[in-house]
Amino acid sequence: LHSNGCGPGFAEENTSSEEQAMIKITGKSYLASPSLPDFCGCSPGWSSAFYGAECFDSEVHSYLKNLGKQKSSESQNIDAKKVELEQLLMMETKNYRKTIKFYQKLLQKERRSKGPETKSMLPKLRGQLQEMKSKVQFLELVKKYQMMYAEQWGVESCVLPTVIHTGGADTMDTAHVAESSLLLYYNTEKHQCNNQNGVRVLQAGTPLGLMAYLYSRNAFLEGYVQQFLYTFRYFCTQEEFLQFLLDRISSTLSSASLDPSTSLTKICNRSFYILQAWIEDCYSVDFATNTDLLGTLKEFISSKVASLNGYGERLLSLLEDASARRSGSADLCSGVGRCEEESEEGRKTLHSLCKKLSEDVSRKNFYWKLSKGTGPIAQYQREWLQAGSAVLPKPCCSSFTGESSVSSARADEVGPVLLMECSAQQLCWQLTLLQQEVFNKCHPVHFLNSRALGVKDKCVAVPKTVSAETVSLKVCNLFLSKCIQDQYLLQLLKNADSISTWVAAEIVTCHTTKRQVSLLSKFLLIAKCCYEQRNFATAMQILAGLENLIVRQLPAWKILPAKVAEIMEELKAVEVFLKSDSLCLMEGDRFKTLPTIPSAHVLAMHVQQLETGGFTMTNGAHKWAKLRNIAKVVSQVHAFQENPYTYAPDFKLQSYLRQRITRFKDADISALAADNCANFHQIPAEKHSRKIQDTLRKMKATFQ
C-alpha cells in the first residue's frame, strides 16, 4: 500500500472541535453524535463523482479557511464559519432576487418606451446578474465543502491494512491476501491535491482493497466515495458491502472512545459517515428494493448502536425519512435522503421567481443543427445568447388551461382534434412535464448493467410481449449473481416506446391526407421545440415514431412544406450529436442553468459501450479507472434532476395526453394503417383504366 501523496486536507482544521465533543456515558467516554446539519451534509453528490478531485479547487479551500476569523491571529472556529457562510449566502441570494425583479421591471419599461437609456442599462444589468449568480453558486459550493466533515476521520494509506483486518467476521475471504496486492496506483506528474504535485492515483484494487480505500484521507473530497457508491455492484453485493461496514463498526464501537485521534476511533466514525452517504444516495436502489438488507441494518442499529452512540438514532431517523419520501414521491428530484431542506427550499423559491422573466434568451442553444435557408448565426449573436442563457432561466410559461383545457368528454371521443387546436409549444411544455415526472424517479445506478435487462441498440429496446419480471438476468450480467438490481430502466424505456407508438398511431389513423400533413407538421414542431428546450427524451421519442416504417411511407410526406420537412433532418442531426459523446450534454455550463432531460436509451447505450471489455486485470484486481469513467457518465442523471422545468402544468391537457398514449401504447401500426385509405398512394381512375386498356392491346398484339 502506497501513500497517495496528498498533504493535510480538511481533517486538521476541525479536530479540536471534535475533541471537545467528548462526553461521559455510564463511566465511559463516547463521541457525541454530530448536530443535525453536520450529519445531513455528508453526501458528496453527483458533482463529486463527475469532477472528482477538481470539484473543490484551492480557491474554495482557501475561502473556507479564512471564514470565521475576526483577526488573522485568531484560531479557526467551525461555528463561526457556519454563521458567516450562512449570512453571506443569504445576503447574496437576496440581492440576486432583487436584481432579477429590477431586470424584469426594466425589461417591461424598455418594451413600452424603447428609450436609449433603458436599452443601454440592460446589457450592464445582465452582466451583473452573471456575476451575482456565479457568486451564489460559489458560496453554495463552499457550503457543500464545509459540510463534508467525514474527512476528519480519514486515515493515511499506511493505516488501511488496519481497516482491512479490523473486524474478523468478513463475508469475503481475506485469508492469505497480500497487502501489497490489494490496491495498485500509478504516478502522475501534475495533479492538484492541496497544491502538491506528483501524487499516486488509484488504478485498480481487489474488492476488499477498494472497500478499504473508502477510509482513506480525502476519499470524499476526491470523489472516490460517490464513484464507489455508483459502481460497487460490479465487484461486490449489497450484503457484502453492508457486512463490511457493520463489522468495522462492531469491532471499534466499544474501544473508539478514549482518544479521538486513534485509528479505531477514526475507523468507527468513518464507517458511520460512509453508511450515511450510502443511505442518502442509494436508498431507492439498494435498501427499498431489498427488505432483507434493510432489516439487517435496522436490527444492527437498534441492538448494538442506538444505546451507545447518537449515530444510531440519526441513522434510524434517516431511514424513516427516506422511506417516507419514496412512498410519497414528494421530492424525488433532489435525491433520496437529502436533509438540507432549507437550502433546497431557497433554491426552489429563487427558481420560481426567475420564472417571471418574459424574455426567452435561451431557447435556441444548439448551433450545430442544420440551418438551411437561414445561414449561419453571427458570432456576436452566439455570444449574447450563451451569456444570457447562463444567467437567465426559462421564462414563466403562463397557464393555458383556459385556452386548451379538455372538456369532460373522454379523450377517445375528442380524438386528435385537440392536438391540432393546441400550439406546438403548449404540447411541448406538457409533454416535457410528463417526461420529467418519469425521469425524476430514475437513479444513476439504473443505467448500469442494462444488457442483463435485455436492452439492446435498436429503437425498441423492450419487447412489448416481455414484461420486466420475465427478463432473464443470465445474459451478460456484469453484476455479481447475488446482487439485486432494480429494473426501473425498463419502465423508462417502455414509456419512451409508448410515446413513439402513440405518435405513429395518431398519424396513421387520420382519415385524410390533409389532416396527416397537419399532424406531421405538428409533431415535427413539437420535437423541434423539445430539443430547443433541452428535452431530448421526448424529441427522440417523437423522431422514433416518425421514423416508423409505415409512417415514412405515407403519401403525406411528399406534400409536406419544405421548411417543416427540414426539421426531420435537424432531429436526425440531434440524434447524431447525442450519440457522438457520452458527456455531450455536460459540456460548458448550460446544463447547470438550463433544465435537461436526456434520452434514456442513448444514455444506456453509452454506458454499455463503457462496460465493454474486461473489468479485471490479469492479477484479478478490478480496474478502478474503468469504474470511475462509468460513474462519471451516469452521474449526469442526478445533475439534470437538480434543475427541473418550471412550466405551469395544465392537468386537463396532461390527462388527455396520458389517455391517448395509454390507448395506443400497444397498438399495431400496420393494422391501424391498413384500415385507412389515406395511408396508400391513390392512382386516378382514368389513369388506371388507361393502363388496363394499354395492357390489353399489348396482350392482343402478341396473339395476332
Contact 636, 600 (CB under 8 A): no
pLDDT at 691: 67
216 lies in some domain: no
Distance CA 316, CA 37 (A): 16
Residues of the chain with pLDDT under 50: 1-40, 71-75, 169-179, 190-197, 330-409, 459-473
**If you ran DSSP here, which 8-state letter would residue 574 be given?**
H
pLDDT at 565: 94
537 lies in some domain: yes
| Placement of cell 454563521 in the chain | 83
Amino acid at site 222: E
Contacts of 512 (CB under 8 A, 6+ apart): 678
Taking the CA atoms of 272, 274, 276 and 279 in sequence, report the sign of the dihedral they define: negative
Q: Indicate which CATH number applies to the domain containing 519.
A: 1.10.840.10
284 lies in some domain: no
628 lies in some domain: yes
Distance CA 87, CA 119 (A): 34
204 lies in some domain: no
Compute the C-alpha angle 388/394/399, nearest 5°. 150
pTM to 2 decimal places: 0.77
Q: How far apart are the first and last CA of the chain?
A: 99
Distance CA 570, CA 7 (A): 51
pLDDT at 592: 77
279 lies in some domain: no
Distance CA 670, CA 173 (A): 57
Distance CA 223, CA 277 (A): 12
pLDDT at 461: 44
118 lies in some domain: no
Q: Which three cell numbers stand for residue 656?
A: 388527455
Contacts of 656 (CB under 8 A, 6+ apart): 406, 411, 414, 418
Taking the CA atoms of 16, 20, 25 and 26 in sequence, report the sign of the dihedral they define: positive
**Count of structural domains, the chain:** 1
Contact 525, 419 (CB under 8 A): no
Distance CA 182, CA 6 (A): 20
Going from the C-alpha of 100 to that of each of 103, 141, 353, the distances in angstroms are: 5, 22, 8
Compute the C-alpha angle 675/678/679, nearest 5°. 70
pLDDT at 42: 72
pLDDT at 293: 96
Amino acid at site 314: R
Contact 35, 230 (CB under 8 A): no
pLDDT at 683: 54
pLDDT at 684: 58
For 564, the domain range is 422-460+483-703
Amino acid at site 80: A
699 lies in some domain: yes
